[in-house]
């Protein structure tokens, strides 16, 4: 049997995700090899929106797939551009674990933080959402892997950081004593591991797909794509099925300069909910 070469970034979280995919493949009898790749996004310490966006983390992996250095690339879906090459689709999406963000602070939850607390995050979406909760926060650009950001927090560089709950759990770093769930709209695809590969290969790995997650992620990414937005814009989308099995879509969009925010929520069939959130958001943008 051919060995499947699994490409990934070299961070602890990325490696964990690749190893998890490897374990699923090995359970089915596949031979695997993990190939760590350094991307341009790993080499810079400035906000992504200053350097071209999410493609910084994925272009090297995509080049490796095309050159057949690797067979599949394992990504955090939220880090993937919503516009992918037809030759390199997001072919499989694993089941989502946690979609939400966490505020991590040793000084308490969001209400207990001191006045003018410093929050480490480069995410424009997170900054907008937090400003609507407390407008006194001071934001500090914070790049680096999850463990690096946590170390900076421990050193007192900032009062708090905001990170994905799924990342904390995957690395066994979540602790309810200092990790506090936030009720804000997450990034499209947050909490989902995705597999990118060549269009006409590896269809036999479809057992990795979780159809419910795929539907939700496709809707989330389509919302972002429809507004021609990227990490240069504060934008989020979260799709899910409620306890009654009804499809729900939450979205947010904000002006990147004024931070004026547009929220939308729809409970309807997936395509209808998507269409209504797009139409409502575009109409409101004209009024900002």
Identify whether 287 is part of a domain: no
- Nearest CA to 62 among 31, 48, 83? 83
Q: Look up the CATH number of the domain holding residue 69.
A: 3.40.190.10
Identify whether 69 is part of a domain: yes
Identify whether 19 is part of a domain: yes
Identify whether 264 is part of a domain: no
Identify whether 219 is part of a domain: no
79 part of the active site: yes
Say whether both 54 and 87 belong to one domain: yes
The total of structural domains in the chain comes to 2
Please report the pLDDT score of residue 56 as a whole number.
59
Say whether both 89 and 122 belong to one domain: no
pLDDT in tens, 235-274: 999 999 999 999 999 999 999 889 899 999 999 999 999 9
- Nearest CA to 222 among 232, 214, 234? 214
Say whether both 63 and 123 belong to one domain: no
Say whether both 82 and 120 belong to one domain: no
Which of these is catalytic: 42, 71, 79, 159? 79
Say whether both 53 and 86 belong to one domain: yes
- Nearest CA to 42 among 130, 113, 137, 145? 145
Say whether both 15 and 88 belong to one domain: yes
Domain of 160, in residue numbers: 101-181
Say whether both 27 and 162 belong to one domain: no
Say whether both 90 and 171 belong to one domain: no
Identify whether 257 is part of a domain: no
Say whether both 43 and 159 belong to one domain: no
Rounded Cα distance between 83 and 190, Å, is 16
Query: One digit per residue, pLDDT tens: the chain, 288 residues?
Result: 679 999 999 989 999 999 999 999 999 999 999 999 986 555 455 554 444 555 556 788 999 999 999 999 999 999 898 988 889 999 999 999 999 999 999 999 999 999 999 999 999 999 999 999 999 999 999 877 788 888 889 999 999 999 999 999 999 999 999 999 999 999 999 999 999 999 999 999 999 999 999 999 999 999 999 998 766 789 999 999 999 999 999 999 999 889 899 999 999 999 999 999 999 999 999 987
Say whether both 66 and 85 belong to one domain: yes
Identify whether 224 is part of a domain: no
The answer to whether 95 and 77 are in contact (CB under 8 A) is no
- Nearest CA to 241 among 207, 279, 278, 213? 213
Identify whether 277 is part of a domain: no
Phi, psi of 33, deg, nearest 5 = -140, 130
- Nearest CA to 240 among 205, 261, 210, 262? 210
């Amino acid at each position: 049997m051919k060995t499947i070469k699994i490409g990934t970034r070299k961070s602890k979280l990325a490696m964990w995700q690749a190893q998890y995919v490897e374990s699923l493949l090995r359970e089915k009898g596949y031979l695997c090899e993990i190939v760590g790749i350094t991307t341009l996004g790993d080499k810079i310490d400035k906000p992504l929106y200053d350097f071209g966006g999410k493609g910084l983390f994925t272009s090297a992996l995509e080049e490796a797939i095309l050159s057949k250095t690797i067979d599949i690339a394992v990504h955090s879906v939220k880090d993937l551009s919503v516009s992918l090459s037809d030759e390199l689709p997001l072919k499989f999406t694993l089941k989502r674990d946690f979609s939400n963000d966490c505020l991590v602070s040793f000084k308490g939850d969001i209400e207990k933080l001191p006045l003018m607390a410093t929050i480490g995050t480069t995410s424009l979406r997170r900054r907008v959402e937090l400003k609507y909760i407390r407008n006194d926060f001071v934001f500090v650009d914070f790049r680096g892997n999850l463990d690096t950001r946590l170390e900076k927090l421990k050193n007192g560089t900032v009062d708090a950081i905001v990170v994905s709950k799924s990342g904390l759990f995957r690395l066994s770093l979540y602790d309810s004593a200092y990790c506090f769930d936030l009720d804000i709209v997450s990034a499209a695809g947050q909490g989902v591991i995705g597999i990118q590969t060549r269009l006409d290969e590896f269809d036999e790995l479809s057992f990795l797909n979780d159809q419910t997650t795929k539907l939700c992620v496709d809707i989330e990414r389509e919302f972002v794509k429809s507004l021609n937005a990227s990490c240069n814009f504060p934008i989020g989308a979260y799709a899910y099925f409620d306890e009654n099995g009804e499809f729900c879509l939450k979205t947010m969009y904000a002006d990147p300069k004024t931070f004026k925010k547009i929220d939308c929520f729809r409970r309807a069939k997936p395509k209808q909910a998507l269409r209504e959130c797009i139409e409502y958001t575009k109409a409101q943008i004209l009024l900002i």
